[in-house]
Chain A
Amino acid sequence: MSIVTTTRAAERSGSFWRRAHLTPYWLLAPAVVVTAVIVFLPMLQAVATSFYDLILFRPNASRFVGFGNYIKLLQDPVFWTALWNTVIWIGLTVPLQMGLGLITAILLNREFPWRGLARALIIIPWALPSVVIALMWRWIYDPNTGVLNDLLIYLSVVQGAVPWLADPHLALYAVIATLTWQGFPFFAVMILAGLQGIPKSQYEAASLDGASPWRQFLHITLPGIMPVLATAGLLRVIWVANSMDVIFVMTGGGPGYSTHTLPLYAFIKARQNLDFGYGTAIAVTFTILLGSFVAVYLARTMREVEK
């Protein structure tokens, strides 16, 4: 009885409403504080660092150079090579992963014996650590002892061993193939979940109306999984763009600069050459580029999905 009275009293005074209004903020605060401290603060610090000529093993020679690093960046041919490689890297890997994932999901959505096992096994490439995958594929591609060349020579597809990772025209695509293999299960699982959310009755109705399987795919399946494709695609673009561990282990960015992507170039400059000023300038530039891409993507796809 007394509780009720107090609550009513609080309601009357309005402080209850004020408190209820604040609750979401209180609940969000820990996450916001942590994100601010471990994500936004270092980001701001990186932006500040990029205005300095800072080589870590010469801390005393550090000086403010304003946009100096950015001007140097625009004149650096390696930057443009790395930018172009990044475009190919994202532009090929994500659609390939998505396509392969879509086919896998459609297959896994059919009834067949041992389907449960197949669904579990398909996730393995995604579950393996990137470094393990990189080392594994490095040996698969090895021209002297690797299994891929053996197989291709045996099948008479090629005459001699192909140096997959040592040829500047092939290396990037060889690494893309590896990453496609690693990432497609993610799409497969996401799309499979989407497929299972499409009501069976829609297909039944369509087939009664005489729609071919292709038309059913185009007008029922695809719209049904569009939200999943849009979200998973966005996540993958961001992950693939930033992932450099597989490239680093497989080629170290070589031969020459032929597998340098921007995040890898930033890493090599900052961590291996200890040139933090220039390295962060590359990273900040890439963040801006990727951020603008994501913004455009979100604006367009989300509008499509909501239609």
Chain B
Amino acid sequence: MGLLKKFAAGLAVAATFAASMAIGSARAETVRFWYHFDNPANPMSELVAKFEKANPGIKIDAENVPWNSYYDNLYTALIGGNAPDAAMVKLFAQPRLVEMGALEPLGERIDAWPGKADLLDNLLELNKGPDGKQYYLPVQYVVLYLYYRTDLLATAGLKPPTTCEEFRDAAIKLTKAPETYGFGLRGGKGGWDQWGAFVFSQGGALKPGGLTNQHAVAANQWVIDLFRKDKVIPPSAPNDGFQEIIGAFKAGKTAMTIHHIGSSKDLVAALGDKVSAVPVPKCGNGRWTSYGDESLAVFSSSPHKDAAWKWISFLAEGENNVAFNSATGQMTVTKSGAKDWKLHERRFVDATVDSLPFAHVLPQNAATSEFVNTAWQTAMQRALTGQITSQQMMEELNALVAQ
């Protein structure tokens, strides 16, 4: 009898356990999240573990998608109906994503979110969609500035350039081809933001007619001449991407290049005190640098929008955001995180902050995605190699913008 009772009790416990497991698994939601980190020491799993502990009903399936095909994969996944619930996204993709109806408006959720007050000023404004709605939640930012080799400039008796004239002059003096070149230009994929510092500052703009005016064409010619006439840029430039320009700068092949704080750790590890940074030079009467944004978004196709929102807002909060940025090497979007910022050397933070007043994003229209993805680089490469003129390049890009 006693034995039977024990058995019955055991059975009851087992049944309850099984039932609670069933309920648990029925309630557990899985949020699929796409991101891209270049850094192999990736702390995403720690953030996921912390989040899952605080939100027992939600599982995060975070996938690191390689940057070079990130948007190709994202667009195809969205169209193919296999999109993640949430992802890291950049502003240039927003008009296309909005046109596709792929984004979930986040305005109300952000307003009700306690972390909103901790976001740096103006970021939400900068991230607004082309229709005025809020789809993006900022997660990190960078600003492009000019890296230079302190030792090489000192040897040549030069100060970091502040204008385009000084920049060209310094680049010529620093060039001792084929050992050293003055400037590492990124002529391959993703180089438009370096180019923007020289062309958008002098009257160029990504709008119909904005590229074909004489100032813009002349500014573009000036960049081409740096390569073709002054020869202050390594001959590999037309095919150079991020790896190549950073590699050449680290190896001492180039004395200056334009990139953001994300590469400072790597450069300091290789060069120590011999690398520093200043804002990009002032060209003509204007100054323009690229505000490199990164945000998080929830997709309208997601069946787990609330869970996805919980996860992305978690990443944009104080210390989580700092942990996130320690992986990407970029800047936190929170006031509390920025107060005690130790991830980068002061000189790079200063160069970033000093660049903010003239940092811009590209206009949000459908042509921007194609300009950034393929059009700029095919046109620039042909202009650099003398296949087309500056005027032809600008007309070709103008045709894209005017579509």
> B-contacting residues of A (Cβ < 8 Å)?
56-59, 142-145, 160-163, 165-168, 171, 251-258, 268, 271-274
| Contacting residues, chain B, for A273 (C-beta < 8 A) | 370, 373-374
Known contacts A57-B99, A166-B187; A145/B248 CB under 8 A: yes
| Contacting residues, chain B, for A252 (C-beta < 8 A) | 188-189, 377
A-B CB contacts (within 8 Å), total count: 101
Known contacts A144-B244, A273-B374; A166/B99 CB under 8 A: no
Q: How far is the CA of A100 from the CA of B248 in the complex (A)?
A: 35
| Contacting residues, chain A, for B72 (C-beta < 8 A) | 271-272
| Contacting residues, chain B, for A59 (C-beta < 8 A) | 79, 100
Q: How far is the CA of A142 from the CA of B178 in the complex (A)?
A: 13
Complex contact A143–B99 (CB within 8 A): no
Q: How far is the CA of A91 from the CA of B35 in the complex (A)?
A: 42
Nearest to B249 among chain A residues (CB) is A144
Q: How far is the CA of A34 from the CA of B99 in the complex (A)?
A: 37
Nearest to B254 among chain A residues (CB) is A144
Complex contact B236–A142 (CB within 8 A): yes
Interface of B, secondary structure class, is: helix
Chain B's interface size range is 35 or more
Q: How far is the CA of A89 from the CA of B81 in the complex (A)?
A: 37
Instruction: Tell yes or no: B253 within 8 A of A by CB.
Output: yes
Interface of A, secondary structure class, is: loop
Complex contact B189–A160 (CB within 8 A): no
Known contacts A165-B239, A252-B189, A254-B377; A144/B385 CB under 8 A: no
What 6 additional pairs, Cβ within 8 angstroms, besides A56-B75, A254-B381, A272-B72? Answer: A143-B234, A144-B247, A167-B385, A168-B238, A255-B384, A256-B238
Q: B74-86 vs A: 1/0 string, CB under 8 Å?
A: 0110010000000
| Contacting residues, chain A, for B244 (C-beta < 8 A) | 142, 144
Nearest to A275 among chain B residues (CB) is B370
Complex contact A254–B239 (CB within 8 A): yes
Interface residues of B in 218-252 (CB under 8 A from A): 234-240, 244, 247-248, 251
Q: How far is the CA of A277 from the CA of B115 in the complex (A)?
A: 45
Q: How far is the CA of A273 from the CA of B371 in the complex (A)?
A: 10
| Contacting residues, chain B, for A167 (C-beta < 8 A) | 235, 238, 385
Instruction: Tell yes or no: B96 within 8 A of A by CB.
Output: yes
Complex contact B248–A144 (CB within 8 A): yes
Q: Tell me how far the C-beta of A131 lies from the nearest C-beta in chain B, rounded to whole angstroms.
A: 11
Instruction: Tell yes or no: B214 within 8 A of A by CB.
Output: no
29 contacting pairs across A/B (C-beta < 8 A) = A56-B76, A57-B75, A57-B96, A57-B99, A142-B247, A143-B234, A143-B236, A144-B236, A144-B244, A144-B248, A145-B248, A161-B235, A161-B236, A166-B236, A166-B237, A167-B238, A168-B381, A252-B377, A254-B239, A254-B377, A254-B381, A255-B382, A256-B385, A256-B387, A271-B76, A272-B72, A273-B370, A273-B373, A274-B79
